[in-house]
Every structure is written in structure tokens, then in C-alpha cells.
Amino acid sequence: MRRFLFILPLTLAACEVTYSTGPASAPASDPVASQPSTASFAQVVAAIEPVAEQECRRRTNGTNCDFLIRVDKNPRAEPNAYQSEDPSGRPVITFTRAMIDSTANADELAFVLGHEAAHHISGHLARQAQNAAAGAIIFAGLATLTGGSAADVAAAQQLGEAVGARSYSKEFELEADELGTVITYRAGFDPLLGAQYFTRIADPGDRFLGTHPPNGARIETVRRTSRQLGLIP
């Protein structure tokens, strides 16, 4: 089991991989005038970080809320933004250069950052690891009951882990979009403009056990939350 606990955080860390399958109309190579530069990334980080920390302290108990937000060292890394924890438990959010370049404005950048911070505040890494561990136990149990060999049980355990890890991932994404909307708004950005990012990335559709919800569901979540915040009627 110990092996699983080390592997799992990487699984959720890659949760934003959809972004990289994204823009067929990839703005990465388009010379978009309003495209965020490293300077405006720093400004977005400076505005979002204190709000994310405040929401984290308000909504959690004993959670490390001291976010470290950084740019991936590899300048050629795929477009991605992801959340992880360093060995001390400090939440780390990493943006690749290509991810920053694929956003059209500061609102989109702020929204993606708010979404990633929300994953941490909502405890999604730990909750996903629990689901994976439970799935592994259930599937291995079934394989044992049906007289499976040791190899069958090991395979079932691995499959159960994968199914368990994905069982709530769409809900986690929508939860992160909801809290991400609040953080984006409180930091002075427009979450509705920020969510326009989804209109440019590939729609994962409503695949069974897919890791991401359909883009329409994500935009609807942002609209509903914006209405609750009084941002729109």
C-alpha cells in the first residue's frame, strides 16, 4: 500500500492535463497583445496569494495555508498548472511557461490559479488518496473472493486504485471551480472573464470515469457562483 501513497499525489498533480490537450486554436504561438507576461503573472500571484491564504485559514483547521506559487524551471514544459505539496506539507502551485502563455489575460490566469489553490483548501489530494486506497481494497477483495491468483489480486488492486482515484475527480474539479470563482472575485479579478479559458480548451465531454467535467458544466458552476456573489443578476 505504501507505494500507492507516493504515487497518488502525482496523479492529482497531473489533474490539469486537460489544459495541455487543449487549445486547437492554441494561443501559445499567437502574438496576442494582451497575453500575460511574466510581470503580470507576478502581479496576479501577488493579488491571489493573500486571498487564497485567507480563504484557506477561514475554511480549514490545521492545514498549511502558506502557498508557494512558482513557474516550472523547464521553459519548454507542456502547458500545465498543478498543485502538490512539498515534503513539509507546504502547498505548492506550479505553472509552466506555456500555461501562462496560453491564457489570454490576467483574469484567466487568476482563475486558473484560484482553481488550483481551491484544490488544496478543499483537501482534494488527501481525499483522492483515500478514494484510491478504498478502491484498491474493494477490488482486491472481490478478486480474492472469486478465487483469483496472487497476480489477479494485484491487478485488481491496481485497477481499483485507478477507479477509486477517479470516482470523485469531476466533483473535485467543480468544487475547485466554485471556490476558485470566489477567490478570483475577492482578489479583484473577473471570474466570468477568467472562465472564458474553458471555451478555448478541448471539451473532455461527459466520459465515464473521465477526470474532468464537461466545459459547459464548469462554466455553469462559475456563473452560478458569480450570481451568489452578486456579480451578475
* Closer residue to Zn ion in complex, CB, 140/165: 165
How many other CB atoms sit within 10 Å of the CB of residue 55? 20
Strands (E), 64-220: 68-71, 81-85, 91-95
Q: Which stretch binds Zn ion (CB under 5 A): 4-12, 53-61, 105-113, 167-175?
A: 167-175
Residues 170-209 touching Zn ion, rule: CB under 5 A, are 173, 176
* Per-residue binding letters, 22-51, with Zn ion (x by CB under 5 A): ------------------------------
Considering only 8, 12, 13, 15, the residue that binds Zn ion (CB under 5 A) is 15
21 sits in which H/E element: helix 18-21
* Closer residue to Zn ion in complex, CB, 63/144: 63
Closest C-alpha to 81, from 179, 169, 197? 197
Q: How far is the CB of 112 from Zn ion (least distance, A)?
A: 9
Q: Is 12 in the site for Zn ion (CB under 5 A)?
A: no
* Closer residue to Zn ion in complex, CB, 128/226: 128
- What distance in Å separates the CA atoms of residue 181 and residue 207, rounded to the nearest whole number? 24
- What distance in Å separates the CA atoms of residue 115 and residue 98, rounded to the nearest whole number? 18
Task: Give the interface size with Zn ion as a residue count (CB under 5 A).
Answer: 3
Q: Are 57 and 67 in contact (CB under 8 A)?
A: no
Locate cell 484498491: which residue? Answer: 136
CA 128 to chain CA mean position, Å: 12
Q: Which residue is nearest to Zn ion (CB)?
A: 15
Q: How far is the CB of 186 from Zn ion (least distance, A)?
A: 19
Binding site for Zn ion (CB under 5 A): 15, 173, 176
